[in-house]
A and B are shown apart, each in its own frame.
Chain A
Amino acid sequence: MAQVITVTSGKGGVGKTTSSAAFATGLAQRGKRTVVIDFDVGLRNLDLIMGVERRVVFDIINVITGEAKLNQALIKDKRVDGLYILPASQTRDKDALTHEGVGKIIEELAKEFDYILCDSPAGIERGALHALYHADQAIVVTNPEVSSVRDSDRILGVIQSRSKRAEEKREPVKQHLLLTRYDPVRVERGEMLKLDDVLEILAIPLLGVIPESESVLKASNSGNPVILDNESTAGQAYADAVARFLGEDKPHRFLDTEKKKGLFGRLFGGRAA
């Protein structure tokens, strides 16, 4: 049975697209047939983060309007087997997404794939609702920062009331917290919310903590999902989160300053690798 996983947050710029790309790639690396859909219609960006922007021919709206077949719009990743990307449209707006259209696409993909990841746009309106409606599981991406935590709480409420599972009164969408851009130095200085604080407030199971890392920018510059950079802390943290998602028991890493930096790091570095 295919699982639909929505990556969402309410707030923009917290790392949904970065996480969607990393997670989809990680699942495919572990042999799962995975497709990642960009629901940010009008502001497509997942194609850039996945490095396939030059190969986009058709997008999700072309499929909905019947201008293209689904298999024509899917872009096959050249690095990892079994990984596909369905891009968002850039010229249309979110109203071009229809309830039936999205439903049909998900249904068709469910026949071919193990995991269908939905990279949600920001907000709690139309686009975000389309992205979360079909969810079996939700990865709520949160930064350790007040507005992000509040918006995550709101989106959790939306998932609980507006998803298909909620409408049909089935077992609720399984929720996971992914805390990203975590900076242990600033947490230690008391400038940033601690993991425990966020967990206490949102009270959903923790899937992973992704440290603030320069490698994320490097990854987006080159169009390689950061999980492919297994030297980077963020890449390793994403790989751990994928493993946990698949049921493995992995201790959380990169949570404190000491472990992250050795003597040289502290003397000369000052920044996360």
Chain B
Amino acid sequence: MSWLNFFRSQKPEAPSASAAKDRLQIILAHERVSRDGDDFLPKLQKELLEVVARYVKIDADKVKVDLERGQGMSTLAIGVELPGNGTAKRSAA
């Protein structure tokens, strides 16, 4: 273990601190924006679902919200499982 580790540690590894910095910059940029205002996601979800519910019956348990915060852009996907013919359809928002 000592031999292996010794030689291995001489090789420059991708420094993990820069990964830490990248991750922090992204997440903090998002958090600073929402710090003062109320968290808008619960409200957004509620209103979107109200619109969908005007047209189809939806089961609140079958709603999936996925978010991926990115550097310049984030994606929010709201998946609604529609009842009826047995095949789930997804509507993205």
Which A positions have Cβ atoms within 8 angstroms of B? 48, 51, 53-58, 62, 67-69, 71-72, 90-91, 217-218, 220-223, 231, 261-265, 268-269, 273
Contacts and interface: CB of A to CB of B under 8 A. Distances in A.
A99 B39 CA distance: 23
Nearest to B24: A48
Contacts of A90: 31
Nearest to B34: A91
B5 A54 contact: no
Given A48-B27, A55-B68, A265-B2, A69 B61 contact: yes
Contacts of A62: 39, 42
13 contacts: A53-B23, A54-B69, A57-B67, A58-B42, A62-B39, A72-B64, A91-B38, A217-B16, A221-B16, A262-B1, A264-B2, A265-B5, A273-B5
The 3 closest A-B pairs by CB, nearest first: A262-B2, A221-B20, A221-B16
B22 to A, nearest CB: 10
A54 B19 contact: no
Nearest to B35: A91
A264 to B, nearest CB: 4
B63 interface: yes
Contacts of A261: 2
Contacts of A222: 16, 19-20
Contacts of B70: 54
Interface string B6-45: 1001000000110110010011000100110011011001
Contact of B63 (A54, A69, A263): A69
Nearest to B4: A231
B63 to A, nearest CB: 7
Contact of B42 (A55, A68, A71): A68
A269 B6 contact: yes
Interface residues on B, range: 20 to 34
A265 B42 contact: no
Contacts of B45: 68
Given A261-B2, A262-B3, A273-B5, A221 B27 contact: no
B83 to A, nearest CB: 16
Contacts of A71: 61, 64
Contacts of B63: 69, 72
Given A54-B69, A58-B42, 8 more contacts: A55-B67, A57-B67, A62-B39, A69-B63, A218-B16, A221-B23, A222-B20, A231-B5
A220 B19 CA distance: 10
B53 interface: no
Contact of A56 (B19, B23, B67): B67
B92 interface: no
A54 B70 CA distance: 7
Contacts of B60: 69
Contacts of A67: 42, 46
A221 B19 contact: yes
Contacts of B41: 57-58
Contacts of A221: 16-17, 19-20, 23
A221 B14 CA distance: 12
Interface string B43-73: 0011000000000000011011111111000
Nearest to B26: A54
Contacts of A51: 23
Contacts of A218: 16
